[in-house]
């Protein structure tokens, strides 16, 4: 079997990226007089393994996309669906503190999310400007255009909902099919915009030459953003519990908060350790081995 035919065992995308290199290596190895049957068997095995790996990776990417979309839908949907009622509902003084605390937490979570996303952009700004100056805009133009379009649609939806909830009472909102459809459509637009911006950011990041400090800051910024975004769900639930005088909603909200309180410090701690390792690696010879210890796990 000719070496070029061996490449057929690999997926097409892999062949396009690594095919020529692998052929050169096979040729070099054959020139050394290695047993060809073992080499060919190894290449075939590698090709089959690559096909399995790509299939598994595609499945994981689909699952990750679906879970991110679902999470965004829960956050956006719960906020949009509850906000008008929560704002309009009169509360007895005994539960007013609960409403105030949940509202403050909600505003705080949105503010922190916005500030951290902005900070992430500022940290990457010098590398992004350099990327644009080198003519990189055409590489990301379509993705950015789609994301901007979805953002405009989400903004229009939010404006429509705002006007609707100002002109209607709680009872009218409850019975308005148009308003309900608007909440669903706006939630879908927010999910689409989030997904498209994430896709555009991922595609752009592949081209950026980030400074070490900027690269080291990204894991922490990502963990704080996710924590703040996740905090929106329990804040909404506790607010809803105050408005509806509902013990079950309060229990679910507090349970969400407890889970977040357990998961978030671990997530942020891991991001801090990763940032330290990245900074240490920038000056390879100054790596502190004790800072590298992860008890058998090297998370990158």
Partner 1 sequence: MAPSGLRKANDPPLLILVSLADGPKHGHALAKDIEDFAGVKLGPGALYGAITRLVERGLIEPLGSDDRRRPYQITPPGSAALAGALADMRRVTRAGLARLGLDPA
Contacts with partner 1 by CB under 8 A lie at: 14, 18, 20-26, 28-29, 38-39, 42-47, 49-50, 53, 212, 215, 277-278, 280-282, 284, 287, 289-290, 292-300
Pick between residue 93 and residue 289 the one whose CB is nearest to partner 1.
289
User: Backbone phi, then psi, for 107, in 5-degree steps?
Assistant: -60, -45
Please report how close the Cβ of residue 49 comes to partner 1 at its closest, in angstroms: 6
Degrees (nearest 5) of the Cα angle 70, 274, 261?
A: 50
Please report how close the Cβ of residue 299 comes to partner 1 at its closest, in angstroms: 6
Pick between residue 14 and residue 128 the one whose CB is nearest to partner 1.
14
Please report how close the Cβ of residue 40 comes to partner 1 at its closest, in angstroms: 9
Pick between residue 168 and residue 287 the one whose CB is nearest to partner 1.
287
Pick between residue 134 and residue 172 the one whose CB is nearest to partner 1.
134
**Which residue's entry shows tokens 């701690």?**
269
Pick between residue 105 and residue 123 the one whose CB is nearest to partner 1.
123
Pick between residue 89 and residue 280 the one whose CB is nearest to partner 1.
280
Q: How many whole angstroms separate alpha carbon 208 and alpha carbon 206? A: 6
**Which residue's entry shows tokens 């049957």?**
37
Using CB atoms within 10 A of its CB, is residue 79 exposed (0-12), middle (13-18) or buried (19+)? buried
Q: What is the DSSP letter of 10?
A: S
- Cβ contacts of 10 within 8 Å, gap of 6 or more: 18, 19, 22, 46, 47, 50, 51
261: how many CB neighbours lie within 10 A of its CB? 12
Q: How many whole angstroms separate alpha carbon 41 and alpha carbon 46? A: 9
Please report how close the Cβ of residue 222 comes to partner 1 at its closest, in angstroms: 15
- CA distances for 194 relative to 69, 87, 199, 284, angstroms: 8, 26, 9, 37
Distance, first Cα to last Cα, the chain: 39
Q: How many whole angstroms separate alpha carbon 95 and alpha carbon 126? A: 48
Please report how close the Cβ of residue 211 comes to partner 1 at its closest, in angstroms: 11
Pick between residue 245 and residue 282 the one whose CB is nearest to partner 1.
282
Please report how close the Cβ of residue 63 comes to partner 1 at its closest, in angstroms: 16
Please report how close the Cβ of residue 270 comes to partner 1 at its closest, in angstroms: 12
For residue 169, the SS3 value is coil
Please report how close the Cβ of residue 126 comes to partner 1 at its closest, in angstroms: 17
Degrees (nearest 5) of the Cα angle 5, 10, 15?
A: 85
Pick between residue 178 and residue 290 the one whose CB is nearest to partner 1.
290
């Amino acid at each position: 079997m000719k070496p070029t035919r061996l490449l057929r065992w690999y997926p097409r995308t892999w062949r396009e990226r690594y095919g020529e290199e692998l052929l050169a290596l096979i040729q070099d190895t054959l020139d050394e007089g290695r047993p060809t049957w073992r080499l060919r068997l190894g290449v075939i095995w590698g090709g089959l393994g690559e096909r399995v790996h790509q299939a598994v990776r595609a499945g994981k990417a689909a699952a990750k996309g679906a879970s991110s979309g679902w999470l965004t839908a829960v956050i956006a949907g719960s906020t949009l669906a509850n906000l008008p009622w929560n704002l309009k509902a009169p509360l007895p003084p005994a539960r007013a503190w609960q409403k105030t605390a949940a509202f403050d937490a909600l505003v705080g979570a949105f503010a922190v999310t916005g500030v951290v996303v902005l900070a992430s952009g500022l940290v990457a700004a010098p590398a992004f400007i350099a990327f644009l100056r080198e003519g990189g805009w055409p590489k990301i133009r379509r993705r950015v255009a789609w994301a901007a379009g979805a953002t405009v649609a989400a903004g229009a939806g939010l404006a429509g909902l705002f006007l609707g909830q100002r002109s209607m009472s709680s009872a009218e909102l409850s019975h308005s099919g148009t308003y309900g459809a608007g909440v669903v459509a706006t939630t879908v637009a927010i999910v689409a915009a989030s997904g498209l911006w994430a896709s555009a950011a991922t595609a752009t990041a592949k081209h950026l030459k980030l400074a070490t400090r900027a690269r080291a800051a990204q894991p922490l910024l990502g963990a704080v953003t996710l924590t703040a975004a996740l905090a929106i769900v329990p804040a909404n639930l506790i607010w809803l519990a105050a408005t509806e005088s509902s013990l079950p909603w309060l229990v679910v909200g507090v349970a969400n908060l407890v889970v977040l309180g357990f998961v978030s410090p671990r997530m942020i701690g891991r991001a801090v350790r990763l940032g330290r390792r990245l900074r240490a690696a920038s000056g390879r010879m100054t790596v502190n081995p004790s800072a590298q210890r992860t008890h058998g796990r090297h998370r990158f």
